[in-house]
Structure 1
């Protein structure tokens, strides 16, 4: 019976002991192990599974400590009946029937119908993943992150973060953002002006929910960040498309009557161009003249390849109109989902209250791990490594594009982690993306970043997740597919 229930695999990263512990616990909860019968002895089970006896003994002892098992003298280990208490009796589920509820009348929105960014789950299996927004696993600071994660679960740390903090954030993380991250961008803020969010995405949602509504106008870059457009359309149907040139968003009279504008001045999303100081001042003057707030998504500010990067728009803000949004997910890992926003105390007070209604606060154990990572200087070291790596890859990719794909033009950039490319009018980027995927290359179509109209000849190629040695061979292979993606006008 035990040989049928438990299957251990030495090739998995999880230890055999941990695998056995989980499988026994699962079998208990599923009712596969009778309460009134002793489990096999450690010697017998070890022999059946072909593992060391100590592996079984340690698994049994951990299950005993966790309350799954009880020990009876001279009789062995038994399932603890208390572990099954309070569980609803399992009943046979009826066969699924076709969904007949009138969801179109029961729901007020259908966000799944919005166009949004998608990426293959198995992107790591592709030879040439020119994807934006993913990281090269080889660049992740595994040792330093493990150290900080381990220290965040020390007994004193657990006593601190395991309590209900209601709407408060980890004070060490606030301190690190206040003293270490924001001054790097020329932003001087008080702790009460900082709020931790579940990635930059939540900061954008909170801001839109506080400012936008029916009849309120929202301005954003075109092309721009598609998720920001989708968030805005959740609250208003008045989304104003602002032109983007080689200096970023053009702050013209279309801002008149708007209540909120969204801009990515460090590296415009998705083109990668940087807004110069003169344009930034012009944007702030327009915001004052038209009486609107501005979201500054400080997108990829960390990956700048010049010695003196342009200060954040927020650093020039004298009236408190700029709501600054930063992210630690971009430099550490997208899956960590931790960001922050900086705004006047009156705005942060409302944002904190709204966040509490949504989820109270981001997980405090994660906040403490990242706070330690910042406090020990590991984030600074990671940024230096990323800048060096991305600058090298940028140069390799620039040279490979010029050599193998001169038909594709790109705007002048000096940082970021991707290239925004425009092909000849007859290029069908969607067709090229499909052909590329069939040849183990991942690139992204650019059309969905536009608020309206068809722009079928643009695409984006990232270099954050691809090894240096694969850049030129991947672009060379892509070049062989370009002619097949041309269509007659």
Structure 2
């Protein structure tokens, strides 16, 4: 039996006792084996005899060892009831358990890379320290609430959200229309829980947001993929079967297109005609760079058939975990009841801090600042990829923090992604974002968490990969191409 002290900062007696336990449980110390004397073991370990004596006595008391007067200390013939290996051994999961799937369609690897454009690694620009400190000072001057607060969220925050949405997105809503949630995906989950029954058909964009699809499936929805083109969701392909439609009209995830006004009108008319519900995820609506602002579906809705879902996590800090739902009154009552039953609420200091941040104008200043910073990275991406424009077209640049680089049909997105990875750049191929057979090829490039220099260098590498591939194909005999 080999024993030593290896874990720095851990009490020696605790480490020694655990090593002896593991040796017994794993069969390296068999029943009836005599242990070294306390003096001999203390000398070999370079510790006090008192420490070893205390460990032996502890293990005797637990039933792992037994002391025989005049003979020494031995491994007990029978181990304590319920004894298990607590460290170092992992049991396999049940064979029927489904493996975890990455919600964003990426498989972050352990390989080192210089530039990571994958959507799974997307981060945001931090709020300025001065603004951050000011919003928390405002909370520090308030007394904590004497109860858990209303399940729909802090009244001050709901008022600030309603005021912001009226100003920025032309939504006609008041504080009573807003329900605060722990993030954007949780907001969608809450809506799905309130309106869906197992087996209900729900239309989703194709390609679309994997995390939203998983959320809907977890609530029993049967997903009906509907194609997306340059004007957004193809409303003419909806038919009458879906009870709910989930869309990201401001910056479609993942293609980045904006739903045209005519498509928005058509979708609202479809919902009113068939008595259906539209869930509008206003993803990336704050970060618009080009083109005129387009009204939110919820702002255009006259029939009360749009549920508006938003989040502050993507623009402020993912760790805030704060989203919201703006819903018709009949649905709001269901949402509040579910929130009350679950007890799942955003901590009151976070709600109060964000209320102060919105009401004091800090949020608007933050959005203006990060727009300028992201615009520089966006320009660097576009310029660095320009030489490859003959084989790959950059799309979805009007808004948001990721773009879609659409390939010519002859390019293999998965193979070229692997080539780029070996050169130190990771990307998200488009194929995993489809439920069915992909009708487009390309890469998704998230640039929000990168510096301008990183964006430029990484995009230049991608340009080289694309041009080299195109040159190789040009040299192939025509008959040998697939």
Contact 1:194–1:340 (8 Å) recurs in 2 = yes
SS in 1 for 2:387: helix
Q: How much does 1:100 deviate?
A: 7.6
Q: Is the alpha carbon distance of 1:138 and 1:238 closer, same or farther for their aligned partners in structure 2, counting shifts above 3 Å?
A: closer
1:256 to 2:244 alignment: no
1:152 equivalent among 110, 122, 139:
139
Q: Aligned partners of 1:384 and 1:459: how far apart in 2? A: 28
Q: How much does 1:469 deviate?
A: 2.2
Q: State the partner residue of 1:117.
A: 105
Contact 1:136–1:467 (8 Å) recurs in 2 = no
1:392 equivalent among 356, 367, 376:
376
1:169 to 2:169 alignment: no
Q: How much does 1:284 deviate?
A: 0.4
TM-score scaled by length of structure 2: 0.75
**Range with bigger deviation, 436-445 or 362-371:** 436-445
RMSD: 3.5
Q: Aligned partners of 2:228 and 2:312: how far apart in 1? A: 26
Q: State the partner residue of 1:310.
A: 294
1:337 equivalent among 301, 321, 337:
321
For residues 211-256 of structure 1, the C-alpha deviation after alignment (integer angstroms, 9 at most, x for no partner) is 2223321101111111122222223453111111111001115330
Q: Aligned partners of 2:242 and 2:446: how far apart in 1? A: 33
Q: Is the alpha carbon distance of 1:182 and 1:133 closer, same or farther for their aligned partners in structure 2, counting shifts above 3 Å?
A: farther
Q: State the partner residue of 1:478.
A: 462
Q: Is the alpha carbon distance of 1:426 and 1:343 closer, same or farther for their aligned partners in structure 2, counting shifts above 3 Å?
A: same
For residues 181-237 of structure 1, the C-alpha deviation after alignment (integer angstroms, 9 at most, x for no partner) is 343100011211100111110111111222222332110111111112222222345
**1:80-479 pair list within 5 angstroms:** 94-95=84-85, 99=91, 104=96, 110=98, 112-113=100-101, 116-118=104-106, 120=108, 126-132=113-119, 139-154=126-141, 156-157=142-143, 159-160=144-145, 163-165=147-149, 167-236=151-220, 238-306=222-290, 308-404=292-388, 406-411=390-395, 413-454=397-438, 457-479=441-463
Q: Aligned partners of 2:108 and 2:317: how far apart in 1? A: 17
Q: Aligned partners of 2:428 and 2:93: how far apart in 1? A: 36
SS in 2 for 1:252: helix
Contact 1:430–1:456 (8 Å) recurs in 2 = no
Q: How much does 1:452 deviate?
A: 0.9
Q: State the partner residue of 2:477.
A: none
SS in 1 for 2:238: helix
Q: Is the alpha carbon distance of 1:142 and 1:135 closer, same or farther for their aligned partners in structure 2, counting shifts above 3 Å?
A: farther
**Range with bigger deviation, 424-433 or 206-215:** 424-433
Contact 2:106–2:120 (8 Å) recurs in 1 = no
Q: Aligned partners of 2:425 and 2:286: how far apart in 1? A: 27
TM-score scaled by length of structure 1: 0.74
Contact 1:243–1:250 (8 Å) recurs in 2 = yes
Contact 2:377–2:447 (8 Å) recurs in 1 = yes
**Corresponding residue pairs, total:** 405
Q: Aligned partners of 1:257 and 1:358: how far apart in 2? A: 31
Q: Aligned partners of 1:283 and 1:111: how far apart in 2? A: 36
Query: Which protein shows a greater Rg?
Result: 2
Q: Which runs of 5+ in 1 are unaligned?
A: 8-22, 33-90
